[in-house]
Amino acid sequence: MKASELRLKNKTDLNVELESLLKAQFRLRMQVATKQLANTSQICKVRRDIARIRTILTEEIGNE
Protein backbone atom coordinates (compact mmCIF):
# COMPACT_ATOMS: atom_id res chain seq x y z
CA MET A 1 0.00 0.00 0.00
CA LYS A 2 1.45 3.33 -1.05
CA ALA A 3 1.36 6.50 1.01
CA SER A 4 -0.12 8.44 -1.91
CA GLU A 5 -3.07 6.03 -2.00
CA LEU A 6 -3.56 6.40 1.74
CA ARG A 7 -3.54 10.19 1.59
CA LEU A 8 -6.58 10.08 -0.68
CA LYS A 9 -8.65 8.31 1.99
CA ASN A 10 -10.50 10.13 4.75
CA LYS A 11 -9.81 9.75 8.46
CA THR A 12 -12.52 7.14 9.15
CA ASP A 13 -11.33 4.93 6.28
CA LEU A 14 -7.78 5.15 7.60
CA ASN A 15 -8.90 4.19 11.09
CA VAL A 16 -10.79 1.17 9.72
CA GLU A 17 -7.76 0.15 7.69
CA LEU A 18 -5.51 0.59 10.74
CA GLU A 19 -7.77 -1.59 12.86
CA SER A 20 -7.79 -4.37 10.26
CA LEU A 21 -3.99 -4.22 9.95
CA LEU A 22 -3.58 -4.44 13.72
CA LYS A 23 -5.78 -7.54 13.75
CA ALA A 24 -3.76 -9.01 10.88
CA GLN A 25 -0.55 -8.31 12.79
CA PHE A 26 -1.93 -10.13 15.82
CA ARG A 27 -2.90 -13.15 13.71
CA LEU A 28 0.55 -13.24 12.14
CA ARG A 29 2.22 -13.12 15.55
CA MET A 30 0.07 -16.03 16.71
CA GLN A 31 1.01 -17.98 13.61
CA VAL A 32 4.69 -17.36 14.33
CA ALA A 33 4.25 -18.52 17.91
CA THR A 34 2.58 -21.75 16.79
CA LYS A 35 5.08 -22.31 13.95
CA GLN A 36 2.38 -22.06 11.28
CA LEU A 37 3.64 -19.03 9.37
CA ALA A 38 5.63 -19.90 6.27
CA ASN A 39 6.21 -16.42 4.86
CA THR A 40 7.64 -14.30 7.68
CA SER A 41 8.10 -11.25 5.44
CA GLN A 42 4.37 -10.58 5.81
CA ILE A 43 5.00 -9.33 9.34
CA CYS A 44 7.35 -6.61 8.07
CA LYS A 45 4.90 -5.52 5.37
CA VAL A 46 2.04 -5.22 7.84
CA ARG A 47 4.20 -3.29 10.32
CA ARG A 48 5.25 -0.86 7.57
CA ASP A 49 1.65 -0.31 6.50
CA ILE A 50 0.63 0.34 10.11
CA ALA A 51 3.43 2.90 10.44
CA ARG A 52 2.40 4.59 7.18
CA ILE A 53 -1.21 4.94 8.29
CA ARG A 54 -0.24 6.25 11.72
CA THR A 55 2.11 8.78 10.13
CA ILE A 56 -0.58 10.03 7.77
CA LEU A 57 -3.10 10.28 10.61
CA THR A 58 -0.57 12.30 12.63
CA GLU A 59 0.06 14.60 9.65
CA GLU A 60 -3.66 15.22 9.25
CA ILE A 61 -4.03 16.10 12.92
CA GLY A 62 -1.20 18.61 12.59
CA ASN A 63 -2.80 20.20 9.51
CA GLU A 64 -6.16 20.82 11.18
Three-state SS for 4-60 is HHHHCCCHHHHHHHHHHHHHHHHHHHHHHHCCCCCCCHHHHHHHHHHHHHHHHHHHH
pLDDT at 47 over 80: yes
Average confidence score pLDDT of the chain: 93
The correct answer on CATH 1.10.3720.10 for the domain covering 3-60 is no
pLDDT at 64 over 80: no
Give 56's contacts (C-beta < 8 A, 6+ positions apart).
3, 6, 7, 14
Q: Please state the length of the chain.
A: 64
The pLDDT value given to residue 63: 73
Which pLDDT band, with edges at 50, 70 and 90, does 22 fall under? very high
Report the alpha-carbon angle 62-58-7, nearest 5: 100
